Amino acid sequence: MTDVILILSDRPDGQVKQLSSSFHKLGIKTLSMHLADIGFDSRYPSGIAVPGLEGALPAAVVVRSVSSGTFEAITRRLGILHAFAHLGIPVWNSAKAIERCVDKSTTTFLLAQAGLPTPETFAVENLQNARAIVEREIGKGSLVLKPLFGSQGRGIRLINGPEDLPVTEEVDDVYYLQRFVARAGPPFRDYRVFTSNGEVLGQMARCADGWITNIAKGAKAEAVTGPLQVKLEALALAASKAIGTDFAGIDIIPAADGGLLVLEVNSMPAWSGLQSVVPVRVADCIAGALAARVFPHLGERPAA
């Protein structure tokens, strides 16, 4: 095993650069690459070939992105992450946590099973089953259709009747429907809470003129203050525990009755918007927590 922390991402974005810098400040080397470039290789004792490590294994792995691909490709990539864990390599986040978060229906199932407040949700295959749900539920209010594997607000649409449902080809024949949560606005607000290693690193309100409040869609980040912080913190930590994430971005929305509902748990969250309104350096906190787990004693850390 090496003293290298492996950062997996399909692009060298700002978060990857910040993580690399944070680990380097701790005297820890990093290696960044695509998960797709790591292969199974039975010539090596570990059974895994990591480019640049010549058969050796990293000390730990941070997953920033898995990237899209065929079912076969994604299955193989997640298999690599499972294999790292099987070999005792800490993986943040684990393949299990990523699988639970990427599939929104599984996320909702686990949140509900943990007794956490989350909007009523229905996930089925084929248009006929989706129409039946809409016809049954629309009397209670609108629904929101989301891509099962989507992110950053892409592909979200409001459903006010069966006629609003897209054809199966547009959603790969899977319909993930969630009760629309009405809020005051504009501006419309919801919240992103960033957790790491069982702690909350920061919170932000996401404010937008429309009801879709993703930063990637143009929403603005605002600091969260007052008693609301305590409520958001408790709910986010409970959600992270229910899903089993090492670090995560938890999306929470205020309900009309003043309560809070967990919408999603993101296992590969960006933090550029959050970083603009919180004093801590998110990358430093993630790097520090993982480094403390991998190199618990100063003498075990590699030299700078």
DSSP annotation string for the chain: --SEEEEE-SS--HHHHHHHHHHHHTT-EEEEE-GGG-EE-TTSTTSEE-TTSTT---SEEEES------HHHHHHHHHHHHHHHHTT--EES-HHHHHHHHSHHHHHHHHHHTT-----EEEEESHHHHHHHHHHHGGG--EEEE-TT--TTTT-EEESSGGGSPPGGGTTTEEEEEE------SSEEEEEEEEETTEEEEEEEEEESSS---GGGTPEEEE--STHHHHHHHHHHHHHHHHT-SEEEEEEEE-TTS-EEEEEEESS---HHHHTT-SS-HHHHHHHHHHHHHS-SGGGSPP-
What CATH number did the domain enclosing 132 receive? 3.30.1490
Output the six-digit token pair for 39: 């292969």
User: Inter-axis angle of helices 95-102 and 104-113, to 10 degrees?
Assistant: 100
Q: Which of 300, 236, 297, 295 is nearest to 269 (CA)?
A: 236
User: Rounded to the nearest 10 degrees, how much is the dihedral formed by the CA atoms of 273, 106, 97, 264?
Assistant: 10
Domain end: 155, 179, 203, which one?
A: 179
156 inside domain: yes
277 inside domain: no
Q: Are residues 64 and 193 in the same domain?
A: no
278 inside domain: no
Q: Are residues 86 and 170 in the same domain?
A: no
pLDDT at position 210 is 87
286 inside domain: no
Q: How confident is the model at residue 150 (pLDDT cuts 50, 70, 90)?
A: low
| Region of poorest pLDDT, from 187-196, 213-222, 294-303 | 294-303
pLDDT over 70, % of the chain: 96
Q: How confident is the model at residue 257 (pLDDT cuts 50, 70, 90)?
A: confident
Please identify which residue in the block is written with the tokens 């937008």: 208
| Region of poorest pLDDT, from 22-31, 74-83, 177-186 | 177-186
pLDDT at position 304 is 41
Whether the predicted pLDDT of 275 surpasses 50: yes
Q: Are residues 74 and 89 in the same domain?
A: yes
Q: How confident is the model at residue 302 (pLDDT cuts 50, 70, 90)?
A: very low
Q: Are residues 137 and 253 in the same domain?
A: no
Q: Which of 35, 39, 48, 51 is nearest to 89 (CA)?
A: 48
Q: Are residues 72 and 21 in the same domain?
A: yes
- 3-state secondary structure string across 148-209: CCCCCCCCCEEECCHHHCCCHHHCCCEEEEEECCCCCCCCEEEEEEEEECCEEEEEEEEEEC
288 inside domain: no
pLDDT at position 90 is 97
* Higher local confidence (pLDDT), 235 or 151: 235
Rounded average pLDDT over 250-270: 93
Q: Are residues 162 and 223 in the same domain?
A: no
Q: Are residues 248 and 112 in the same domain?
A: yes
pLDDT at position 151 is 58
What CATH number did the domain enclosing 75 receive? 3.40.50.20
Domain range for 166 is: 121-179
Answer whether 302's CB lies under 8 Å from 291's CB. no
- Work out how many domains the chain is built from and give that number: 3
Whether the predicted pLDDT of 152 surpasses 70: no
Rounded CA-CA distance 2/57 in Å is 6
What CATH number did the domain enclosing 193 receive? 3.30.470.20
Q: Are residues 142 and 168 in the same domain?
A: yes
Q: Are residues 228 and 250 in the same domain?
A: yes
Q: How confident is the model at residue 299 (pLDDT cuts 50, 70, 90)?
A: very low
300 inside domain: no
The answer to pTM > 0.85 is yes
Answer whether 143's CB lies under 8 Å from 177's CB. yes
Q: Are residues 108 and 230 in the same domain?
A: yes
Please identify which residue in the block is written with the tokens 């993986």: 91
Please give the mean pLDDT across all residues of the chain: 92
pLDDT at position 268 is 94
Rounded average pLDDT over 214-238: 92
Q: Are residues 198 and 259 in the same domain?
A: yes
Whether the predicted pLDDT of 300 surpasses 60: no
11 inside domain: yes
pLDDT at position 258 is 85
pLDDT at position 165 is 97
Q: Are residues 18 and 81 in the same domain?
A: yes
